[in-house]
Amino acid sequence: MSVVVITGASRGIGLAATSFLLETFKATVIAISRTRSSELDALATAHPEALQIVQCNITDELAFTRAIQSVPAKYGRLDALVLNAGTLDPMMRIASSDTPLDAWRTHFEVNVYSLVTALKAAAPSLRESPNGGKVIFVSSGAAVGGVAGWGPYNASKAAMNSLNRTLATEEKGKIISIAVRPGKVDTDMQREIREFGGIHMAPGDHDSFVREKNNGLLLKPEDPGHVIAGLAVNGPESLSGEFVSWDDPRCYEFRRPA
């Protein structure tokens, strides 16, 4: 049975992945989240022995480190780390004069520096995992794109992919590291884009997000969530260092059954 830490588990993709880890892959899950939700609490009620919820702000380096390091002390092992928590805020143009640089710093605290905190805390235990430790980065197509108005997000997801590649090299044979593009998923982040992105994004880009929602084309969180959960438990070494889409043929075995 795998022991998995997942961040940002209270809703969306993180909640779906947590559910599949518990119910399909029979993992023990430590869900680290800044907030709780009724859905996450319901999972804890249904799986009292297998799910532990830890409320923690991932930008609090000391608290976040302690939360992760407490896992092998309690469960005797740590097999996987799913780094899902993140933020889109602030949407802004790079040369905008109305968003202070501190907004960029705050964004990077959440989307980049917290990753380093987690990796430093988890790596010693992941290296000792009997089947090889796994790190799954929940990335985005923004990592290789350039959507106007998403300057901080584009840059932070590119940094995430770079960390993924470097970790795979540094921990070759010890930790399998995979970055996953979940696609356009019907989550709170998509709602933020539709409601507030029009001010900063190119009209055509913003219209495409509105149109895809209206036409029912957004993915359900369960689609990429199942793939992410499967990779956290059984991700192959052949994908280590790779940035893969959730529906990549190499991830086919981890897709949710129809």
Distance CA 184, CA 172 (A): 31
In the chain the domains, ranked by start, together with CATH numbers, are 3-184+220-246 (3.40.50.720)
- Longest CA span, the chain: 52
Query: Helices 38-46 and 12-23, interaxial angle, to 10°?
Result: 10
At residue 224, φ and ψ (nearest 5 deg) are -70, -25
The pLDDT of residue 209: 95
Query: What is the rounded distance in angstroms from the CA atom of residue 107 to the CA atom of residue 87?
Result: 7
Please tell me the distance from the alpha carbon of residue 8 to that of residue 1, in angstroms, as a whole number. Answer: 22
pTM: 0.96
- Pick the closest to residue 138 from 114, 122, 120 (CA basis): 114
Question: Given this model, what pLDDT does residue 96 score?
Answer: 83
Q: Is 102 helix (H, G, I), strand (E, B) or coil?
A: helix
**pLDDT in the model for residue 32:** 96
Residue that the structure tokens 């532990």 belong to: 52
Please give the positions annotated as active site: 139, 153, 157
By C-alpha distance, which of 181, 52, 171 is closest to 122? Answer: 171
- Which of 229, 224, 216, 221 minimizes the C-alpha distance to 248? 224
pLDDT number for residue 65: 98
Radius of gyration of the chain (CA): 18
Q: How many CB atoms lie within 10 A of CB 173?
A: 9
Q: Which pLDDT tens digits describe the chain residue by residue (258 residues)?
A: 899 999 999 999 999 999 999 999 999 999 999 999 999 999 999 999 999 999 999 999 999 999 999 999 999 999 999 999 999 999 999 998 777 899 999 999 999 999 999 999 999 999 999 989 999 999 999 999 999 999 999 999 999 999 999 999 999 999 999 999 999 999 999 999 999 999 999 999 999 999 999 999 999 999 999 999 999 999 999 999 999 999 999 999 999 987
SS3 25: coil
